[in-house]
Amino acid sequence: MLKRVQHPNINAAPALQRHFLELPVRAIAVAVFVSVVVATSSILGARATGMVAVFPISLISLIVIVQPRIGGAAASLLAANALRSMLGFGMMLLALYLAILPFGVTLALVVAMSVSACWSGGLLLLKPKTPVA
């Protein structure tokens, strides 16, 4: 499931003439999306909102912004390859949750950052080597 997804024929998106308001409109759309999630947090409760909202909001926001710049195929690869990062993010949150009571806030944040750094480093070490042409 977490296997690296690659597409052999991904090229940069063709240059398109963009309207000068496109980026601000996309940024406003992302802000509205985040605001809706925050507004529904009163219904869901802070705990549920905090657990479910952080990574999907940031990933969807990133895809909405980069899709017109890098193209649909590359944006879909970005989303597919983000699954490995999502697992590491979840492990970091779990480490923070488990470490905060026994170790305190400061040390728990250090533990959580260490888990995140180790996961990222592991992903970099396991990354297939591509020859430079």
Sequence-separated (6 or more) residues with CB below 8 Å from residue 112: 92, 93, 95, 96, 99
Which has the closest alpha carbon to 31: 57, 3, 52, 59? 57
How many residues does this entry show for the chain? 133
Which position has the higher pLDDT, 53 or 9?
53
pLDDT digits (tens, 9 = 90+) for 73-117: 888 888 887 878 888 888 998 999 999 999 999 999 999 999 999
pTM for this one?
Answer: 0.53
Residue 52 — very low, low, confident or very high, per pLDDT cuts 50/70/90?
Answer: low
The structure tokens listed for 84 are 């490995």
